[in-house]
Structure 1
């Protein structure tokens, strides 16, 4: 999994953005990242994914600066 700060994803609860550097558990089986809802900094939480789980996150391009 290659999460980066600024990556965005959507699920059944809304659109989220990765706001801190992701880290893995000992052994590398799980990836954790602090995320917040887009436009709502007060709604942050830690999300956990399996290290080999595939999720789709569009990345910002250097030219456009947005997704």
Structure 2
């Protein structure tokens, strides 16, 4: 599942989503999370340090 990074705009399969407020979620790729100076990246780094990763349950069918 590819998601679009809200900082650089590229679609990436390794983008993560973080809660930065109870109702708002930011999607960011690992490169932007580590190296970007954008305000959204700074918010995402704070959310990452606080452990606010959006955990998604993936239903896997067993054959």
Fold-level similarity (TM above 0.5): no
- TM-score with structure 2 length normalisation? 0.35
- The structure carrying a bigger strand percent of its residues is 1
- The structure carrying a bigger helix percent of its residues is 2
- TM-score with structure 1 length normalisation? 0.34
